[in-house]
Amino acid sequence: MVVVMSVTPLDSCEVAAVDPGKVALTRERIPDEGEAGRLAGLFKLLGDPRRARVLYALLEGGELCVCDLAAVVDVPEASVSQVLRVLRTAGVVDNRREGRMVYYRLADGHVRMLLDVSREHARHEGQS
């Protein structure tokens, strides 16, 4: 363990005690810059209320067309189409065509789990 004495702000360690083994092990386990960027991009998707509402509508409603989604989230179909384009590009929403209709759904169980956990956390934070 390396100990460095210094004067630090109140929200820092008073004594910087670096554990090289712990630092190395932790450094190996955290995302690299590329993966961290992809993760940040994924979380940005939830940073927009309209996108979040469309995602939760798909979570709760299963497969929905643009018309249904627009009615659920109470925004124009053109806006929902733009949101869906962003979500499809990000890989969190899939679609399927049936004749002239296109139906949208969450891409996979990981997206469902992310939404469930995020909402649960937001509800928990709201109770504090």
SS (H, E, C) the chain: CEEEECCCCCCCCCEEEECHHHHHHHHHHCCCHHHHHHHHHHHHHCCCHHHHHHHHHHHHHCCEEHHHHHHHHCCCHHHHHHHHHHHHHCCCEEEEEECCEEEEEECCHHHHHHHHHHHHHHHHHHHC
* Residue 50: how many other CB atoms lie within 10 Å: 14
Confidence of residue 125 (pLDDT cuts 50, 70, 90): confident
Q: Give the predicted TM-score (pTM) of the model.
A: 0.79
pLDDT, tens only, 21-50:
999 999 999 999 999 999 999 889 889 999
CATH topology of domain 46-127: Arc Repressor Mutant, subunit A (1.10.10)
Q: For position 126, what pLDDT does the model report?
A: 74
Q: Determine the pLDDT at residue 98.
A: 95
Which regions of the chain carry the CATH code 1.10.10.10?
46-127
How does pLDDT run across 3-28, given as a tens digit for each residue? 554 545 556 667 677 889 999 999 99
pLDDT tens per residue, range 66-124: 999 999 999 999 999 999 999 999 999 999 999 999 999 999 999 999 999 999 998 88
pLDDT of residue 3: 52
